Amino acid sequence: MKGFSKGIEDITYNDFYNALFNNDFNKFNIKFNDLWGFKESLRRKKTFLTYNEKSKSIQSVYDKRILLDDNINTKPLTIENQIIIR
């Protein structure tokens, strides 16, 4: 599937349906190990190299656009003088 990581390839129609209408995003979580480089590892863990478990997922809350009543279409937020106008 385009736009999804390699670890989430067994997604079905029902998984999309549950995510959209029941707010069940369990099938869209992926965990993987990330190797930190020398500088980042020293800065965070004070060791030379570190593996860190990371997680990616889709979320039900999207803060850059306003979700309309049909739960599909959106409109952009309007920001004036550093104030969000809905």
| Whole-prediction pTM | 0.48
Q: What is residue 53's three-state secondary structure?
A: strand
Separation CA 47–CA 27 (nearest Å): 34
Alpha helices in 1-86 (DSSP H): 13-22, 38-45
Q: Any idea where the domains of the chain sit in the sequence?
A: 13-85
- pLDDT band at residue 68, thresholds of 50, 70 and 90? confident
- pLDDT band at residue 1, thresholds of 50, 70 and 90? low
CB 21 within 8 A of CB 47: no
**What are the structure tokens assigned to 57, written together?**
């997922």
- pLDDT band at residue 38, thresholds of 50, 70 and 90? confident
Rounded alpha-carbon distances, angstroms, from residue 12 to 9, 18, 49, 57: 9, 10, 38, 16
